[in-house]
Amino acid sequence: MPEIHLLDIFKESFTLMILLLCSILTLGFTAERFWFFRKASTEGDRLLAGVAKLLTEGKADEALKATKENPASVSQVVHYGLLHRARPRHELEELLSSKRLEERLKLEKFLVVLGTMGNTVPFIGLFGTVMGIIQAFRDLALAGAGGPAVVAKGIAEALVATAGGLAVAIPAVIVYNFFMRKVKSLSVDMEVVSTRFLVMVGSK
């Protein structure tokens, strides 16, 4: 049976080129989100303790500056709360709630791409496999004789598309679920910090 060269298969298969592009997109967005979540995480209690200390010392401006410069989601929520801490409690609660939604949108940015890759890429691979098998049997019909040896190489090449689809989709799903877990965890942190911040500033 003729030898199978993966590079030649890539050159001849439009489906595999699409899968290669999908894998590059998956790796790119995974790296971007990993770096973003690394900056977006911090310890809420330590942050509040530092803010409370500065407020007690009458250094509200320093507290505002420190929370603004910290890229963590909870820090941005606290910064927004500090800006509006003089407002009545019910208004401050609404403002903090809106800020949490805004920060959650930032956390979920690009995750839809990873989710889409995990859901659709296997079907792209399957489509490539089906088209490859159709081509293999067409070659058998044109050959007229030769038995399974005529289609063996074509079918083997076609199955590479399914394997490629799974190779891209499985990591995408794992990464997507990991980041969604981080989103939920940070969302809870923001709610906890918001509640403690309201108590700390003593809004009426």
Residue 184, number of CB atoms within 10 A of its CB = 12
Average pLDDT, the chain: 86
The whole-angstrom separation of Cα 67 and Cα 49 is 12
- Joined together, the tokens standing for residue 140 give 């058998």
Residue 99 has pLDDT above 60, yes or no: yes
pLDDT of residue 1: 45
pLDDT tens for residues 121-163? 999 999 888 888 887 777 777 766 655 666 776 777 778 888 8
pLDDT tens for residues 16-49? 888 889 999 999 999 999 999 999 888 888 999 9
Do residues 113 and 157 make contact, with C-beta atoms less than 8 angstroms apart?
no
pLDDT of residue 41: 87
pLDDT of residue 6: 54
Taking the CA of residue 188 as centre, how many other CA atoms within 13 Å lie in the half-sphere pointing to its CB? 5
Average pLDDT value for residue range 45-72 = 91
pLDDT of residue 149: 64
